[in-house]
Amino acid sequence: MTTSSDTSAPAALNFRSIDFRGRRLSLAELRGAVPRARHQTMADAEQKVQDIIAAVRSRGFSALAELARTFDGVEQSHPRVSAEALTQALAGLDPNVRAALEESISRARQFAERQRPSNVDVSLGDGAVVSQNWIPVGRVGLYVPGGLAPLASSVIMNVVPAVAAGVESIALASPPQKDFGGLPHPTILAAAKLLGIEEVYAIGGAQAIVSFAYGIPGSGDELSIEPVDVVTGPGNIFVATAKRLVKGVVGIDSEAGTTEIAILADSTAQAPLVAADLISQAEHDPKAASVLVTDSTELADAVVRELARQAAATKHSARVLEALSGPQSGVVLVDDLEQGIAVCNAYAAEHLEIMTADAPAVAARIHNAGAIFVGDYSPVSLGDYCAGSNHVLPTSGTAAFSSGLNVTTFLRAVQVINYDRGALEKVSSHIVSLSGAEDLPGHGDAVRIRFE
């Protein structure tokens, strides 16, 4: 884990420009406005993750120990974190960080508790009732990243909605840290303890997702890991790929992979704020995407100047410059806000900030984004920590069809059918007709027999 300033020499900023002005663009061209390395990089990661799945499924804890040695540089006998380690982590927590975690928890809880959908009972005639009941899954596995940075706030984002949904069994995993005796980062352990989570594992990356999805049998003194119903949480490309590969064995939230920010801004936006927000998310990962969409060349030029100035001075300068200079980042110049909105909807960013005149009106026209941040005083950093919203969000364009983590991620809608004799008799001839039309007469007979 990188905790001090990056030491490698920062590369020069190369924030490229994509000029869409004066062009009529197809949806495919709009979608490809900013290339995502999705297919190539995913294919590479997929092979590695397949190997990890095979190793963990066949050799269980011994494979986990090998992977911890290879990827995390730690020797591990068993990944379960003791109750004592959790208690000690909370006792040693900085009081300011504790106060911040508590504020974040309180806001996340208030929002999550209001998200639970209501059950419905509908009468479709005398004695004919159908209902839809929202029922929590039984057991979940939550992932908290800890490679480049220890994301203690992700403990909150995972745990709070799971608890609000009523999940009874919650397990959490985060990478073992060389500097902390092979345990997950102490702030992550403290956040887990603060939220009452007792089952915590020092497992990182794809192997954590696989351990939760399939479970790991224990033998002798070894504690087993029971399989879960749903795995959630953010992570790097290996975590996101593992979630995609185990989907179907378990439910997942979304492909909450490498961070992305897009900002739709016009000439009224303030370049220093735009640059700071682009850098705030570039800081997560050298592969993070930071994209500015604007109809103002003056703003674009000012933002590039600000990026160079701020990126050179920030702690993780090398990582930030690499992310800003990658093909996944840059400025898209558009004719007007109309085209800008089309680009943003096609791109479907994880985070989309709107910094325009009348930002709420522009935000109302966005239908593809993991989360939308409206105006100068709603930066992504607010949502990352303390807005009350969830920061575990879909990436790689998957925001077009999937949602950020929320209470319904942990619920299933179960429909209940309760008809009495008279109500069934009323529709029995229709059932018989439809079963005949489908050449499934046994279905009709199952109704007819009740009235013979």
Ligand X SMILES: N[C@H](CO)Cc1c[nH]c[nH+]1
Active site residues: 350-351
Using alpha carbons only, give the angle 111, 365, 353 rounded to the nearest 5 degrees. 60
> If binding is defined by CB under 6 A, does position 151 make contact with ligand X?
yes
Cα separation of 405 and 402, whole Å?
9
Q: Which does 274 bind (CB under 5 to 8 A by kind): Zn ion, ligand X, ligand NAD, none?
A: none
Q: Is 283:314 a contact under the CB 8 Å cutoff?
A: yes
Nearest one of 75, 70, 37 to 51, comparing CA atoms: 70
Applying the rule CB under 6 A, the residues between 95 and 154 that interact with ligand NAD are 145-149, 151, 154
- Stated length of the chain: 452
Rule CB under 6 A: say whether 238 interacts with ligand NAD.
yes
Cβ of residue 334: shortest distance to ligand NAD, in angstroms?
25
Q: Tell me the residue number closest to Zn ion, measured at CB.
A: 384
Please check if 430 is assigned to a binding site: no
Interface with Zn ion (CB under 5 A), residue total: 1
The yes or no reply on residue 186 touching ligand NAD (CB under 6 A) is: no
Residue among 257 and 444 whose Cβ is closer to ligand X:
257
72 a known binding residue? no
284 binds ligand NAD (CB under 6 A): yes
Query: Residue 158, interface with ligand X (CB under 6 A)?
Result: no
CB atoms within 10 A of CB 414: 11
Stretch of 236-244, 288-296, 377-385, 408-416 lying at the interface with Zn ion (CB under 5 A): 377-385
Of ligand NAD, ligand X, Zn ion, none, which one sits near residue 48, judging by CB under 5 to 8 A according to partner kind?
Answer: ligand NAD
Q: Does residue 391 touch ligand NAD according to CB under 6 A?
A: yes
Question: Is 281 marked as a binding-site residue?
Answer: yes
Query: Where in 293-332 is the site for ligand NAD (CB under 6 A)?
Result: none
Distance CA 102, CA 44 (A): 40
Interaction of residue 384 with Zn ion, rule CB under 5 A: yes
Structure tokens at 359: 């930002």
Tell me whether residue 259 or residue 280 sits nearer to ligand NAD (CB atom): 259
Site string for ligand X, 248-267 (x = CB under 6 A): -----------x--------
Residue nearest to ligand NAD (CB): 204
Asked if 236 interacts with ligand X (CB under 6 A), we say no
Distances (CA, A) of 86 to 160, 195, 402: 18, 11, 34
Is residue 259 within the footprint of ligand NAD (CB under 6 A)?
yes
For residue 336, give Cα distances in angstroms to 303, 332, 352: 18, 11, 17
Q: Which helix (H) or strand (E) holds 282?
A: helix 271-282
| Residue 282 within binding range of ligand NAD, rule CB under 6 A | no
DSSP per-residue codes, 8-62: SPPPPP---EEE-TT----HHHHHTSS---HHHHHHHHHHHHHHHHHHHHHHHHH
Task: Please identify, among the stretches 246-254, 292-300, 306-314, 376-384, the one whose residues bind Zn ion according to the rule CB under 5 A.
Answer: 376-384
As measured in angstroms, the least distance from the Cβ of 288 to ligand X is 8
Give me Rg for the CA atoms of the chain. Answer: 25
The residues near 182 (Cβ < 8 Å, ≥ 6 apart) are: 68, 72, 74, 75, 76, 176, 202
CA of 54: how far to CAs of 50, 60, 115, 141, 211, in Å?
6, 10, 38, 19, 11
Q: Name the amino acid, one letter, at 17.
A: S
Query: Is residue 193 a contact point for ligand X (CB under 6 A)?
Result: no
Contact pick of 15, 45, 64, 153 for ligand X (by CB under 6 A)? 153
Distance CA 297, CA 343 (A): 17
Nearer to ligand X, 128 or 382 (CB): 382
Rounded Cα–Cα distance for residues 260 and 258 (Å) = 7
Q: Which amino acid is at 170?
A: I
Nearer to ligand NAD, 386 or 423 (CB): 386
* Contact residues: Zn ion, CB under 5 A: 384
* Contact residues: ligand X, CB under 6 A: 151, 153-154, 234, 259, 281, 350, 384, 391
* Contact residues: ligand NAD, CB under 6 A: 48, 71-72, 145-149, 151, 154, 175, 204-206, 234-236, 238-239, 256-259, 284-285, 288, 350, 391-393, 395
